[in-house]
Structure 1
Amino acid sequence: MHGVSNESMRKRRRGAELEAALLEAAWDELVAVGYERLTYEAVADRAGTSRPVLYRRWPSKRELVLAALRHRTPPLPDAPPDTGDLRGDVLALLHRVITRMRELAPVREVLAAEQGQATELSAYLAARNQGPGLTWMRTALERAARRGEIDAPDALPDRLVTLPVVLVVHELFMARRTPTDADLEEIVDQLFLPLVAHQLGQHP
């Protein structure tokens, strides 16, 4: 099965092709064993190369994992879905959060390990989380204000704005279950929208 030796692979691959292979191997190892157990030796073995090849590019495990995350995770969209009304926007946004969390399941352990650390890796993870948690929700609320659904969205506190996403992430990470459509509708219809209306004094 191994008709091509590691040595011939090292000779053939260069530049971007080699780097992509190394980062794919790092991602696969992260998925297989997790952040804490990931080693340069195992990644090098997966990639059919040597540890010095990895160390020259990424001197620390944090740098290697950060590069693998950047290589493998798609860029965050600039804005949440636009469905034409606030309720639809928030539901669509929550569905996107669930999909993204599933795609990035190996990142959970990295998040836990990097919590409270002031590193480039922790900053990257924080930026990834901020999009759906606050920036996207603010965008959805600003759209709703332009459509005349709500007034003065800037008056809403951040804790209220991020409530739907926080509840979904709690279900995924802490309760270890994926919220159903009914769960999402309950969050939006019975918690979020009534609280927004109360905060803004927009009672039916």
Structure 2
Amino acid sequence: MSASTSTRRRGAELEHALYEATVRELAESGYGRLTMEGVAARARTGKAAVYRRWSTKQALVLDALRHSLPPLPGFEPEMPPRDNLRAVFTVLCQIFGGRTSFPGLAVITGLVADPVLRNAIVEHIVSPRLRVIESILDNAVRTGEIDAVRPMAVHIGPALVMHSFLLTGNPPDEAEIDQIVDTVLGA
């Protein structure tokens, strides 16, 4: 067995390297200039290793994005809705701000021009987070902590977090997150 064979990455280790390479390529080059060959070179593997796993760059990018997301904050029924929402919005700030392995809002805005990726991002990244917010608000109504869920309440928090990034380039601070939570809860 040669030295190169004994150090060859396989399975999960190789996939992890390919995910990391994809996210770095997205951050540095953008989606339009990302290539399967570039990802393979960055991961120090052959392009056949990439094409065996993903037939399109869309599929590769979507899997890399899902892999790079921090765990979805869960809805904790015993916690007050304010604390649950604060946890969700704090993680959202970290994601958008590129403070996780996820590439951040600047990269995501470059992906939504591709309809397939936009739909996949909504289905796999946005919608699960909105469902957590909806569960928090529905539980708050059941427990009497709020009277009703206002129309668009589920979307307000993420929209305000994104709005802060777009206007200032920075995530909301803790006081602003508290104001966003109050807005969502109708306080």
For the aligned pair, the TM-score class normalised by the smaller chain equals 0.7 to 0.9
3-state DSSP of counterpart to 1:45: helix
Task: From 65, 78, 99, give the equivalent of 2:94.
Answer: 99
**How far did residue 144 of structure 1 move?**
1.5
Question: Can you give the 5+ residue segments of structure 1 that lack an aligned partner in the other structure?
Answer: 198-204
Is the contact between residue 111 and residue 122 of structure 1 (CA under 8 Å) also seen in structure 2?
no
SS in 1 for 2:168: coil
Corresponding residue for residue 154 of structure 2: 161
| Residue of structure 2 in register with 1:12 after alignment | 8
Change (3 A) 1:34 1:160: same
Tell me the TM-score normalised to structure 2 length: 0.76
Query: Hey, what does 2:173 align to over in structure 1?
Result: 180
| Alignment deviations for residues 61-106 of structure 1 (CA, whole Å, 9 cap, x no partner) | 21221222233324434x3355733333333332222123232234
* Contact residue 111 and residue 118 of structure 2 kept, 8 A: no
Cα 1:32/1:89, change in 2 over 3 Å: same
| Deviation digits for residues 148-187 of structure 1 (CA, Å, limit 9, x no counterpart) | 222343xx21x23321221111112443122112222333
| Cα displacement (A) at 1:29 | 2.1
Q: List gaps (5 residues or longer) in structure 2.
A: none
Say which SS state the counterpart of residue 133 (structure 2) adopts. helix
Counterpart contact for 2:30–2:110, Cα < 8 Å: no
1:171 aligns with 2:168: no
Change (3 A) 1:50 1:106: farther
The residue aligned with 2:35 is 39
1:123 aligns with 2:116: no
Q: Look up the match of 1:142.
A: 138
CA RMSD of aligned residues (A): 3.0
Larger Rg: 1
Give the drift of 1:11: 7.4
Q: In structure 2, what is the Cα distance between the partners aligned to 1:109 and 1:10?
A: 36
Which one-letter code corresponds to 2:110 in the other structure? A
- Label 1:183 to 1:44 Cα distance change in 2 as closer, same or farther (>3 A): same
Aligned length: 182
Calculate percent identity across the aligned residue pairs. 36
TM-score, normalised to structure 1, is 0.71
